[in-house]
């Protein structure tokens, strides 16, 4: 089988590395000239071409690009003659707009997926072969995908040693806001709060593991995250509101020296790790 | 030399493990009967006794207990006949009350320290030999410590392969609020926000590395942290306020769809890791 990987950054590049022995050929597609060169030099892909050319020969097309790019690519693919039973797998971080805006004539080809994996780094050189291993792959609205396509996609995800979770797109987007998007906003807020302090250099000399964890997400790519936040705006606002309400509660207890209540509130927080 | 380690939890236990070849004998002190037994069984200490007895024979006394416990212990030590040039090292998470409340007659003996190290686990069984390795040891108000005591304490910290940072106690407490105490409140707020959701079990199935990092501190011991928050209340409130103001800014930009401003705000946040 031939696979076209569209977007040769961390996600697409890591997918290529992990499926080299699965596909006979991997064709890379990327707008960015230097990503093209890097991906070839690193041996992530066998050749580079454009989406139209790649789509004609690919059995599997992976869209590892931002959400708006995925929607444009789907529109272009709907006007291209695809191979019979071609599978389109998108890795968009939000799923509702994608399943809603996918052209009807290729809806059966699409398997709307979201790998719960990543690092704070980006670009082809950030690619790692085991990025997907043992991670969750969420697959949304599977009743709208073709049976053959779904079967092939699941086989690839199993090859990646991923755990498949089936979910409604709307539900996925709400969950992703809590588990990923809001925590990014929080991490960026911590980073900016420290950077505003006059003695910031002095403050960070004290950073140990806890602070490194809490500020790691603030290394993330602002371009990519702006697009995700834009796409999932209402769910993000709801999850920020839920977080803010807890923070406010904590602040009031500290202000009013309600130490026993604060203790109980933390004890409740400890419970999270029992369900994770 | 003989060392008395008061408090045989994560910090005291790890200190014992890392200084076994430095001291001839390590005496353990702990109110908690099961900690005493565990520490002996794990070979963290050579024997167990009480503070008064241990203080008479110890060249070095390490107070690895909560802040209020440290202050009580210092009061008891001020009424005990210590060995000549005995060094008292406290590991309190806030330093101002400790240096202020230390009885004058033993102020020269005290080297007020705070190791920037830890894990989310506690108790003697959580002790690890390399907890302190390559971490920062903050030492406060050194002009109030005796020269011999300071020299001995620094020698021990170097044996632990720690990097020593000298700081004013007041400054330390402000910095610690930003780098450690506020991030704990934030992590507990994230945990509680998710736990309040009806579909919490479903939400956490999506948890990847980012969420695990952001919620790890919410595993911390509520008892210990209540005491730290109590001790550093005003600095904590100030740092929560600084964080909240950034969060509010982000929320407003998302609400009003100021995506380019949000991009710039994140780009600024990226800068943190250049100074860390």
Domain ranges of chain B: 2-167, 172-275
Indicate whether B239 pLDDT > 90.
yes
Gap from A221 CA to chain B (nearest CA, Å): 8
Q: How much is the mean pLDDT over chain B?
A: 97
Which pLDDT score, from 0 to 100, does residue A73 have?
Answer: 98
Tell me the helices (H) and strands (E) count for chain B, helix number first.
Answer: 14, 8
**Chain A residues with CB-CB distance to B196 below 8 A:** 242, 246
- A80's CB contacts (< 8 A; 6+ apart) are A52, A55, A56
CB–CB contact A230 B259 (8 Å) = yes
Q: What are phi and psi of A90, to 5 degrees?
A: -105, 150
Mean local confidence (pLDDT), B264-269: 98
How, if at all, do strands B136-140 and B110-116 pair?
antiparallel
Which pLDDT score, from 0 to 100, does residue B120 have?
Answer: 81
DSSP letters for B20-55: TTT-SEEEEE-S-HHHHHHHHHTTS-SEE--HHHHH
Cα dihedral across residues A178, B186, A208, A274: positive or negative: negative
Mean local confidence (pLDDT), B31-39: 97
**Closest alpha carbon within chain A to B198:** A175
Please, which pLDDT band fits residue B2 given cuts at 50, 70 and 90?
Answer: very high
Instruction: Give the right CATH number for A2-167 from 3.40.50.720, 1.10.3720.10, 3.40.50.170, 3.30.70.100.
Output: 3.40.50.720
Of the listed ranges B47-51, B90-94, B176-180, B220-224, the least confidently predicted one is B220-224
pLDDT digits (tens, 9 = 90+) for B99-147: 999 999 999 999 999 999 988 889 999 999 999 999 999 999 999 999 9
CB–CB contact A275 B236 (8 Å) = no
**Chain B residues with CB-CB distance to A165 below 8 A:** 205-206
Question: Testing the interface with B: which of A165, A179, A240, A256 to mutate, by most B Cβ within 10 A?
Answer: A179
Which pLDDT score, from 0 to 100, does residue A55 have?
Answer: 97
**Closest alpha carbon within chain A to B202:** A175
Which pLDDT score, from 0 to 100, does residue A120 have?
Answer: 81
* C-alpha span between A131 and A127 (Å, rounded): 8
pTM to 2 decimal places: 0.90
Q: Which fold has domain B172-275?
A: 6-phosphogluconate dehydrogenase C-terminal fold (1.10.3660)
Pick A213's closest partner by Cβ from B182, B188, B213. Answer: B213
What count of CB pairs under 8 Å joins A to B? Answer: 286
Residue pLDDT tens, chain A, 276 long: 999 999 999 999 999 999 999 999 999 999 999 999 999 999 999 999 999 999 999 999 999 999 999 999 999 999 999 999 999 999 999 999 999 999 999 999 999 999 999 888 899 999 999 999 999 999 999 999 999 999 999 999 999 999 999 999 999 999 999 999 999 999 999 999 999 999 999 999 899 889 999 999 999 999 989 999 999 999 999 999 999 999 999 999 999 999 999 999 999 999 999 998
Pick A273's closest partner by Cβ from B219, B236, B237. Answer: B219
Gap from A97 CA to chain B (nearest CA, Å): 18
**Chain B residues with CB-CB distance to A244 below 8 A:** 247, 251
Please, which pLDDT band fits residue B200 given cuts at 50, 70 and 90?
Answer: very high
* Integer CA distances (angstroms), A55 to A167, B4, B97, in order: 28, 72, 69
Gap from B80 CA to chain A (nearest CA, Å): 33
**Chain B residues with CB-CB distance to A11 below 8 A:** none
CB–CB contact B183 A175 (8 Å) = no
How, if at all, do strands B136-140 and B25-29 pair?
unpaired
Secondary structure (3-state) at A22: coil
CB–CB contact A208 B262 (8 Å) = no
**Chain B residues with CB-CB distance to A233 below 8 A:** 254, 257
- B21's CB contacts (< 8 A; 6+ apart) are none
DSSP letters for B63-86: E-S-HHHHHHHHHHHHTS-PPTT-
Gap from B75 CA to chain A (nearest CA, Å): 25
* C-alpha span between B244 and A200 (Å, rounded): 17
Mean local confidence (pLDDT), B204-223: 93
**Chain A residues with CB-CB distance to B262 below 8 A:** 226, 229
Which pLDDT score, from 0 to 100, does residue B208 have?
Answer: 87
Same fold across A2-167 and A172-275:
no
**Chain A residues with CB-CB distance to B259 below 8 A:** 226, 229-230
**Chain A residues with CB-CB distance to B176 below 8 A:** 206
């Amino acid at each position: 089988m031939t696979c076209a990987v569209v977007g040769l950054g961390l996600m697409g590049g890591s997918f290529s590395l992990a499926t080299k022995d699965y596909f006979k050929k991997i064709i890379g597609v990327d707008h960015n000239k230097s990503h093209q060169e890097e991906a070839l030099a690193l041996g992530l892909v066998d050749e580079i071409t454009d989406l139209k050319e790649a789509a004609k020969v690919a059995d599997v097309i992976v869209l590892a690009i931002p959400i708006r790019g995925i929607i444009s690519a789907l529109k272009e693919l709907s006007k291209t003659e695809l191979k019979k039973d071609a599978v389109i797998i998108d890795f968009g971080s939000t799923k509702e707009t994608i399943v809603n805006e996918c052209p009807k004539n290729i809806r059966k080809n699409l398997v709307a997926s979201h790998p719960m994996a990543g690092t704070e780094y980006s670009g082809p050189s950030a690619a790692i072969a085991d990025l997907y291993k043992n991670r969750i792959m969420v697959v949304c609205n599977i009743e709208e995908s073709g049976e053959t396509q779904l079967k092939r996609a699941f086989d690839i995800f199993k090859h990646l040693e991923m755990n498949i979770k089936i979910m409604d797109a709307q539900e996925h987007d709400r969950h992703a806001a809590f588990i990923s998007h809001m925590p990014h906003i929080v991490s960026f807020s911590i980073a900016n709060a420290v950077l505003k302090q006059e003695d910031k250099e002095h403050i960070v000399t004290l950073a140990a593991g806890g602070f490194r964890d809490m500020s790691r997400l603030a290394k993330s790519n602002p371009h990519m995250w702006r697009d995700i936040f834009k796409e999932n705006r209402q769910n993000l606002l709801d999850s920020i509101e839920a977080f803010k309400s807890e923070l406010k509660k904590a602040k009031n207890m500290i202000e009013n020296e309600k130490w026993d209540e604060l203790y109980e509130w933390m004890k409740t927080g400890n419970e999270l790790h029992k369900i994770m």
